[in-house]
Structure 1
Amino acid sequence: MRIISTFSYLLLVCACLSFSGAYSIEGHSYQQQKRYTISGYVRDSTSGEVLAGATISTRDPSHQVTSNTYGFYSFSLPEGSYTLYYSYVGYHTTSHTITLTADQQIDVQLPIQSIGLEEVVVTETQPSATPDAMGSHQLSMQMVRQIPALGGASDIIKSLQLLPAVTTIGEGSTGFFVRGGGSDQNLILLDDAPLYNASHLLGFLSVFNEDAIKNITLYKGYFPIRYGGRLSSVLDLRMKEGNTKIFRAAGGASLLGGARLVAEGPLLKGKGSFMVAGRRTFAEPLLWLATTDSTNRVQFKGTRLYFYDLNGKMNYTFNERNSLFLSAYIGRDVNKLSILDYAINWGNVTGSLRWNHIFNPRLFSHFSLIYSNYDYNLNTPSAGNLFDWRSRIKDWNAKADFSYIKNESLSFTFGLNTISHTLRPGYNQVSSTYDIPSRNALETAIYGGLEGKINEKLSIELGLRYSLFQNIGKTTIYSFNQGTVTDSVHYSKGKIFHTSQGFEPRFQFSYRINQQSSLKASYMRSTQYLQMLSNSSLSFTAFDIWYPSGPHLNPLRSNQYSIGYFRELPNYAMRFSVEAYYKTVANQTDFRDNAQLVFNPYIEGELLFGKGQSYGIEFLLQKSTGRFTGMLSYTFSRAKKQIKGINNGNPYPALYDQPNKIAFTGHYELSSRLSVSASWIYTTGNPVNLPTESFQYEGQTIPVYGSRNASRLPDYHRLDLSATLKGKDKPASKFSHYFVFSIYNAYARKNPMTIYIGEDLSATRDRNNPKTVANRIYLFSIVPTISYTIVLK
């Protein structure tokens, strides 16, 4: 009955909106007037790159649309004469006067505003009292480059960590947690391809090369209906398409990010373009220089410490209705320490083939074939007790998305996708004794929704998503009793042996109070079928296991409620927002006490199940124009779990529960060549599970633990500074260049990453009378760096 009621309500609203949109707009009757459709693409006049989120309007609030991810827009108007205005932050507004007597395609190229001290500096999405979705943020690459970074390497995910309700777990990490959800509850997409590990250098740097990325959008309150499979957030990154007019190249180097190079240019007389970007670190020479004698050099012989990645993208426009895009990413980390006889490497490979087709001026389609592969390997190459532990997850994904724009007051989105998952959670190349059985699954979703304007002030968005998850053999499924294996069943290849499914309704409305302020509220139900089994809050460990839902692991299901107030402060060129949320999670998982996680083929038996909840309130103040730009945010939030068999069944803090967070980032243009930036962050210390007392037994110290995660690390805070110096602009020169000087952790705060209970390791310890203490382990003190970039004009 609930499903029927949901569909009935959706159809009723669609019918009402269709009637209203067809015959009246803002109370004006157009029943007898013919209507025609204006459509086209909005692009950058310099590079030819499409501009997603550009605004097209007649300066009438009821006649306004925005371009989609591919820069395409469409809306219909009654017959007559109009002046259309095309605008985008950082670009000059362009106007076109037309007489509308038939459908028209108008492609527009917007010129970039010249960079001046009083002109716009893009840091966030364009000003609007009604942002696209609850809890959504669009970051520009200019903002990312302005934020001081560890080792002088700009990092997208570290920039996201300055946003409200986006937290990290410690020093140098690219792992992030959103609104009380685990790191595996974030869907990270690079040109629609999922990335299951976005970390380089064991989590100190993300895999996203600043030279290759064009658009960054984070959804954490309300997901557009085309997204599914995760509970907390969607991070959607789009690579550059390449310059369609001229060839350009740039290169640079930094201490942490290594050497990088990017090139882009047109294909076939401007019918298409390409972009290729790569980078690689070179840590081995630093280790070689750090050794002081030949003995040390022998010990480090064979050591490999580096990462590399390569981004590539091509596009070709066959005609005004058909475009093809091909993009790929390859990245790998290699860490081999000969002195410790230890080696670990991991990497991602993704590919996306996409076809955009315009059926007619109102119907836009997007077809995709997507491949993603993530694997890691941990081994001891020459140890007596040799092991070679591996894990892999591989996806093939086919998608079809459609957008139908009935008129400027009503549009529909619908589509379907199916993903084939192949998982090897953990296996040993040397011996299969501890192998975790492979898993295969098929995940399918069909979805549809609408966006409509009820009147000049009220807009709504409705969506319904149905997902189906089927477990498929070949595999072995074990039965458990209190964690002990009692039976097993083997399923042959291709056999469907378990099915999970669910409906995921979504709703969002926006009410414009006046031109400067608005209210928004949303509800979203989400289902997640893949989980990462880990008892660590670190952004990367060698034994994280991605595991699918099945007979013993139910899918995660969440309900999230959000409400927000947004206000423009035009006199101060600022925007203020406050959002509150409440989220519940069913089938929340955690490990039983003293669980064995490593080399355990029966890891499902170590799981316990319950529920979780998170709630919070977020404040954000932004300034995006003028010589000074930046943002200031404060978040109060809580994240708790309640699982039978843990903490006596009482609620306890999740590992990523951080009640208070304050973040500030600012950028100031001192002159046309010199600018300075600063960022400061403060968070409550992460929960940790520490013993409350200990006793001696047969000469050993035995710890006694109290409530789960009852202790906390010291509060975390850090100040980063940077200065950018541009070279003198010489019109006759074919090159431009700039230096970035940065100081990470400027006041040398020793932020502990974890606490180790054991023998006192401090410099003041009594070596003759060793004591068991809590040792704080931290990674960095103050880190000054310099980076250099050169650009071919």
Structure 2
Amino acid sequence: MNQLFTIFLIIVSLQTFSQNACRIRVEVFNSLNNAVLSGAQVYVATQGVSYISNNYGIVDCEISCSGDSLFVSYLGFNDTVLILNKNFKPDISVALKPNEFDIQKVTITKQKIDDNLTNSIGEITMQRAQLRSLPSFMGEPDVLRTLAASGGVRQIEGMQGIFVRGGSQDQNLIVYDGATIYNPSHLLGFFSVFNSDIIQSATLFSSGAPAMYGGRLSSVLAIQSQPAILDSIETKISVGVLSSRCMINAPISNKSALRASFRKTYLNLFVMPLVEKSLQLREEVSTEFGFTDATFRFDYKPNTQHIFYVSGYAGGDIFRLDNSQISLQNKANWGNIGVAVQWKYLSPKNWVHTTTASFSKYNFDFAAQQSLYSLHISTGVSKYALQYIAKKRLDSHTFMYGLSSDFQTFNSGTVDVSINNQAFIASPALLSQCAEQSMFIEHNWQIIPKLSSVISFRVVPYFLLGPSSYVQYNEVGEIADTLKFYTNQIIYSNVGIEPRIQLQYKLSTESTVKLSCMRTTQHTHMVSMLSAALPADIWMPAGIYNPRMYGWISSVGVYKNWNNNMFETSLSLYYKTMNNIIEFKDGFITLYANSYNQKITRGKGYACGAEFALSKQIGEFTGAISYNFSRTLRKFKELNSGYLYPASYDKPHDVSVQIQYELSKSLKFSGLWVYSSGKVYSEPVSKYFIGKNVVSEYGALNSSRMSAYHRLDIGAEYVIIQNNKFELATQLSVYNVYNRNNVYYIYYEMQGNVEEFSLQFVKNYVGLFPILPSVSVQLNF
């Protein structure tokens, strides 16, 4: 490769440079299966500038009108030099041949594109290959678990979603091909809803998010599915003892293709008996827990100027807990639906126009029955969205502008209670709807070779619409009046203003300083309906009693690479404010949906932290170490006597160590060790009798902390057969290798005699998942 690049430089030095620039479009793809190569590098000789291909393998760049030379490269593929004369065509296709040598050996000698120094501050981008770098859980590579091993991102065992830099789960905008995903987790956070077989890339912005994204307070996670391959059939099947999945890619014509995947778990055979034992459930108690999901993507590419796709996701979880001794039956179902249609137009004037229409939906249903008593609770939210983006690069400037329109409908709780089939409590669905528009503009400017900036601005008009009625209460909590609003009547409105700025300064070729400051707004709230781990969450729009949330995110970081980019280090500091966040005064909602407004309290949140990371990305032995110190605090006038208290997911110390070792082309090992501070909780400071009833008195809110959480996962992958026709591999993974009993919840057992007023309370600790080995076999052809 070094010899090829030297010859290339000699050719470049002999070329005649022109003052005029022309635009060309280069499409880079795999010569074996015609799959597009996202992230390929195209180096233009006369400019001395490298361009990176997008998710469709396309690069739109400027070259000299009198002729030029292009150096095209991609990791694991043979490099190609294109020499263009003055009669070149405006559209060029480049087929790269996979390298016959070991990819790791190529990586050692190949100068890689350094994302660590060039990415936006707070940006983490992962490609398909990186998703398999960590031990799989139950035989399944997982995007959220991989992200959680990075700085500033954490998962909490038994809780849905991710927590980014002190933000709650609902403060993360998660989009899959442009469609919003409200709950990104299966199985209480142990799986993500994103099937790794169909993911092309995943990008997380914990600060410095592009102007096209908004509507959430903390972060953006953009998942892009892999485009369907137009000219070959591809099939992947994975069968394990705990779950199975399959994926198929099938061309429909020479311009269209379909890619689809399916997953299903069968945890009741092996996992749930272990969990029931871990949770100390009695023999008369039976459980069921699992999920199923499916994805598809249809791509149509009539030419290099127009690209269309339709992408969809549907998935759901089921949880059942029965107790035959007391005739109790509990069942919960929840799931997401997301569909997106996108049209990308690459105009002759070098503008890239992207139009996306999407539909998203999330529902939760819970039903319980015991003898003659029955309870049913349901919540949900749906969203229709339309977005248009225009983007153009001109010399050292990149311009982007666009607008979007969202319409959301909320079911903030339907509760039905009956006794002997007679309605006892019948709370009708609390429905509401809102419209949110946004207009945005962004300017990316390379001011001087060492200094660049990104300045953007968003304007977000918001309207809460009728029909609805609002109950007003006086100072003592009595109903004072009821306000009624008709269909499409504006109940509440405001305009969110979101300025954003980023600066990057290169101290040297291997070090960069980055800083960012941005204002964010969020017009949706989420609060917990039940005091349980199930995702019984209420989504509700901003309104009269719960106005929109807003905040500021400021961050600064120093990024330094060593030994020709073999090692990457970074140190980042951040500070975040959150205003108008809401909680229920009693911790969770009662059964009466019409009492929401009276039960909600409004307050502020603060988060700050320092993140350190060290990683080795090149060679047979790779890995990363990250340490985060952070605090996440809340302040509500009506909670904790108005004093600051730790949020339920406040974890000051968080450590992650991940390693990967490629012993040979056929055998790979991986390991992950995580450590974090224990969860906070409110502990009784005393117990006393009122009559013969035991009453607990609690101290400050969330003033106690459980023991620290730590866990070791290991994995191995062995490729049994690999040739041009098919690949057969097996994966072995062990979750929680040393069987750490990480505390999931605490309960107090009363011992003694109430009649004699002689009692002793014993604290009991219950873990969730013990050691869980899994094995799977994967066939690709």
Q: Do they fold alike, i.e. is TM over 0.5?
A: yes
1:155 paired with 2:142, answer yes
The whole-number CA distance in structure 1 between the counterparts of 2:51 and 2:531 is 42
Q: 1:246 — aligned with what?
A: 232
Instruction: Say whether the 8 Å CA contact 2:330–2:367 is kept in structure 1.
Output: yes
CA contact (8 A) 1:682 1:716 kept: yes
Cα distance between partner residues in 2 of 1:231 and 1:64? 34
Corresponding residue for residue 762 of structure 2: 773
- Partners of 1:341 and 1:380 within 8 A in 2: yes
Q: SS of the residue aligned with 1:106? A: strand
Q: 1:604 corresponds to which residue?
A: 597
Pick from 154, 157, 167 the counterpart of residue 181 of structure 1.
167
Aligned position for 2:304: 320
- Residues 93 and 711 (structure 1), Cα distance of their counterparts in 2 relative to 1, 3 Å cut: farther
1:593 & 1:53 partners in 2: Cα distance?
50
1:632 and 2:625 matched: yes
Q: Which amino acid aligns with 1:511?
A: Y
Larger RCO, structure (CA 8 Å, separation 6 or more): 1
* Residue aligning to 1:450: 443
2:151 aligned with 1:164: yes
1:693 counterpart residue number? 686
Which residue, 231, 244, 251 being the options, matches 1:266?
Answer: 251
Residue 499 of structure 1 aligns with which residue? 493
Structure 2 residue identity aligned to 1:410: H
Residue type matched to 1:279 in 2? R
> Counterparts of 1:515-534 in structure 2 under 5 Å?
515-534=509-528
* Deviations 1:697-736, CA, capped at 9 Å, x for gaps: 12222111111111111111111111112103366xx432
Which of the residues 326, 331, 350 maps onto 1:343? 331
Q: Which moved more, 1:110-119 or 1:360-369?
A: 110-119
Question: How high is the sequence identity, in percent, across the aligned residues?
Answer: 28
Partner of 1:362: 350
More strand by share: 2
Equivalents in 2 of 1:64, 1:452: separation in Å?
A: 16
Matches within 5 A, 1:197-596: 197-256=183-242, 258-269=243-254, 271-283=255-267, 305-339=289-323, 340-380=328-368, 383-407=371-395, 409-428=396-415, 433-435=426-428, 437-481=430-474, 485-534=479-528, 541-571=534-564, 573-593=566-586, 596=589
The letter for the 2-side match of 1:552 is: Y
Which amino acid in 2 is paired with 1:309?
Answer: D
Q: Given the alignment of the two structures, is residue 127 of structure 1 paired with residue 110 of structure 2, yes or no?
A: no
Report the Cα distance in structure 1 between the residues aligned to 2:91 and 2:726, rounded to whole angstroms: 38
**1:149-196 CA distance string (max 9 Å, x none):** 3323222111111111112223x5552100010011111111111111
* Aligned mates of 2:247, 2:661 — CA distance in 1: 27
**2:529 and 2:589 in contact (8 A); partners too:** no
Contact 2:104 2:620 in 1 (8 A): yes
Cα shift readout 1:417-441 (whole Å, capped 9, x = no counterpart): 1011011111135657334521100
Please tell me whether the aligned partners of residues 244 and 263 of structure 2 are also in contact (alpha carbons under 8 angstroms).
Answer: yes
Q: In the TM superposition, what whole-angstrom CA distance separates every residue of 1:300-344 from its partner, at most 9, and x where no partner exists?
A: 99x864321111111111222112101111112223445441111
1:776 deviates by 1.4
TM-score by length of structure 1 reads 0.88
- Contact kept in structure 2, 1:36 and 1:100, CA below 8 Å: no
- For residue 771 of structure 1, what is the amino acid of its counterpart? Q
Give how far 1:233 is off: 1.2
The alpha carbon displacement at 1:780 in A equals 2.1
Q: How far has the Cα of 1:459 moved from its partner?
A: 1.0
**Secondary structure of the structure 2 residue equivalent to 1:747:** coil
Say which SS state the counterpart of residue 223 (structure 1) adopts. coil
Tell me the C-alpha RMSD between the 2 structures: 3.0
Alignment-mate amino acid for residue 612 of structure 1 = G
Q: 1:403 to 1:571 in 2, by over 3 A?
A: closer
Counterpart Cα distance in 1 of 2:697 and 2:377: 32
Where 2:338 maps in the other structure, the secondary structure is: strand
Contact 2:265/2:292 (8 A) holds in 1? yes
Say if 1:514 and 1:121 are closer, same or farther in 2 by CA, change over 3 A: closer
- Using the alignment, how far apart are the partners of 2:741 and 2:751 within structure 1? 18
Does the 8 Å CA contact 1:174/1:206 hold for their aligned counterparts?
Answer: no
Q: Structure 1 315/513 Cα, relative in aligned 2: closer, same or farther at 3 Å? A: same
Cα distance change, pair 503–262 in 1 and its aligned pair in 2 (3 A): same
| Matched-pair contact (CA < 8 Å) for 2:28–2:95 | yes
What whole-Å deviation, never above 9, does each CA across 1:502-547 have from its counterpart, x for those lacking one? Answer: 1101111111122111111111111011111128897x52431011
Residue aligned with 1:602, SS = helix
> How far did residue 129 of structure 1 move?
5.4
- 2:13 is matched with none
Alignment partners' CA distance in 2, 1:120 and 1:710: 50
The corresponding residue for 2:68 is 82
How many Å apart are 1:91 and its aligned residue?
4.1
Partner of 2:778: 789
Query: Deviation per CA, 1:467-507, whole angstroms, max 9, x where unpaired?
Result: 11110111222223465543322211121221021110111
Partner of 2:715: 722
Counterpart of 2:138 in 1: which secondary structure?
helix
- SS, match of residue 325 in structure 1: strand
Of 80, 89, 101, the match for 1:94: 80
Is 132-141 or 418-427 further displaced after alignment?
132-141
- AA aligned to 1:524 is M
Contact 2:433 2:466 (C-alpha < 8 Å) held by counterparts: yes
CA contact (8 A) 2:529 2:536 kept: no
* Residue 758 of structure 1: how far off its partner (Å): 4.1
Deviates more, 1:89-98 or 1:602-611: 89-98
Deviation, structure 1 residue 742: 1.3
Q: 1:254 deviation in Å?
A: 2.5
Counterpart mapping for 1:592-671 below 5 A: 592-593=585-586, 596-671=589-664
CA–CA separation in structure 2 for the residues paired with 1:199 and 1:150: 13
Q: Is the 8 A contact 2:621 2:661 kept in 1?
A: yes
* Partner Cα separation in structure 2 for residue 286 and residue 542 of structure 1: 24
**Distance in 1 separating the partners of 2:75 and 2:398:** 24
What SS does the corresponding residue of 1:386 show, helix, strand or coil? strand
